Amino acid sequence: MKTCVLGSFPKIPAGSGASVRSAVQRFERGAIGPRELSTTFRDVTARVVNLADAAHLDVTTDGQIRWYDLFDPLARDIDNFRPSGLLRLFDNNFYYRHPVITGRLQFQGGTLAAWTREAAALSRIPLKVALPGPFTVLALSEDQSYRDRARWLADVVDVLRLEADSLTGTGAVEVQWDEPALAALPGAERGEVRDVYAALTGGAQLVQSIALYWGLSARWLGGLEGLPVARVYVDAVSDPAVLAALAETVWPFEVGAGLLDARSVRAENPDEVLSRLEPVLRRQGADRVWLHPSSGLELLPPDRAEQKVLALGAIKNLINGQKGR
């Protein structure tokens, strides 16, 4: 069994150490310059990937330390994709700048690739990049230009594919498409999801994965069969029933079980996690199962987020030790 995180991580330390929060405050007051601010982002990113290394994760993200929100790199890399007013991110007390589409989308690139190259150089373990998938982009942004959903979606897929391709050679090993909108909101149609993901992931150079969280994900598993997607990560906290789907059917992709609640400070009992995961391990085969938090960890205070990452390592040791895996 393998372990990973899904995306974001707190930008402040649990104890002493570099803090994006205080660096930004000092930068805005003029107390530090752009170089010191950039160094802070780098130091905090290093802390995140070093924690993942200490927990013996198999794959990590960079914690999205430089990101304002999940759309930030897209807003920087894509023309006419402009951050606007604050909206609540699903049912979280966290707010994102909802993107407004002001013209035909054009990929310029550069920012995310640079951030990823920096993080990959810092990390001793493989690094993946989590990007919002096309259905989440459409659900959370506002079109003021296309006025034709099909054309808008086609261009979104195109620019996201270009963004993903730009990560080739940066050191990243995987692109994870985050689709909370598919899990949390009604409306998407299975055939369209298949077509879109075939176009988005077909022929991609980096490993492709999909993360479904903050809602119901079991219903999507069947629709993702046959796509060039190596892994599907699901949120078993929001949708405990998904574990039955993972325990009953052998899926053609690797599966990730989000059993550590990324929105609760309660520490999971390793034995309980093990007992819930056991049927999945038996059905899928341990080498095809990932354990991870239910979503990104930035919704937790830094001490609890760290505990969740370290718990991943402890539970992996427990499972692999007991089962000789």
Partner 1 sequence: MAKTLQTTSVGSFPKPPSLQAARARFRRGEITRDELRAAEREATRTVIAVQEDLGYDVLVHGEMERGDMVAYFAENWSGFTESLPVRSYGNRYYRKPIVEAAVGNGGRAGLTVESWRFASQLTAKPVKGMLTGPYTICDWSYNAYYPDRRSLVLALAELVHEEAKALENAGAEYIQIDEPALSVRPEEIDLAIEAMDIVTRGLRAHTVSHVCYGRFESIYPRLLDLPVDQLDLEAANGHYALLDLIGRYPWPHNKELALGVVDVHSHRTESVDEVKAGIRRALEIVPADKLYIDPDCGLKTRTWDEALAKLTVVAEAARAVREEAGWA
Contacting residues toward partner 1, per CB under 8 A: 10-12, 14, 20-21, 24-25, 68-69, 85-88, 90-96, 264-266, 298-304
Taking the least distance from each CB to partner 1, the nearer of 167 and 236 is 236
| Nearest-approach distance from CB 114 to partner 1, in angstroms | 21
Taking the least distance from each CB to partner 1, the nearer of 86 and 244 is 86
Cα Dmax for the chain: 58
- Phi/psi for 227 (5° steps) reads -85, 155
Sheet of 254-260, strands arranged across: 2-3, 289-293, 254-260, 231-235, 207-212, 172-178, 127-132
Give one DSSP letter per residue of 76-87, joined into a string: HHEEEEEEEEEE
Taking the least distance from each CB to partner 1, the nearer of 9 and 233 is 9
Residues sharing a CB contact under 8 Å with residue 127, sequence separation 6 or more, in sequence order: 49, 59, 60, 61, 62, 116, 119, 120, 171, 172, 173
| Nearest-approach distance from CB 69 to partner 1, in angstroms | 7
Taking the least distance from each CB to partner 1, the nearer of 95 and 285 is 95
d(Cα 182, Cα 296) in Å, to the nearest integer? 16
Helices 302-323 and 34-54, axial angle in degrees (round to 10) = 30
Provide the 8-state DSSP code for 166.
T
Taking the least distance from each CB to partner 1, the nearer of 19 and 123 is 19
d(Cα 253, Cα 96) in Å, to the nearest integer? 31
| Nearest-approach distance from CB 159 to partner 1, in angstroms | 24
| Nearest-approach distance from CB 268 to partner 1, in angstroms | 12
| Nearest-approach distance from CB 298 to partner 1, in angstroms | 6
Taking the least distance from each CB to partner 1, the nearer of 80 and 317 is 80
Place of tokens 């391990």: 281
| Nearest-approach distance from CB 263 to partner 1, in angstroms | 8
Q: What angle do CA 303, 309, 314 make, to 5 degrees?
A: 115
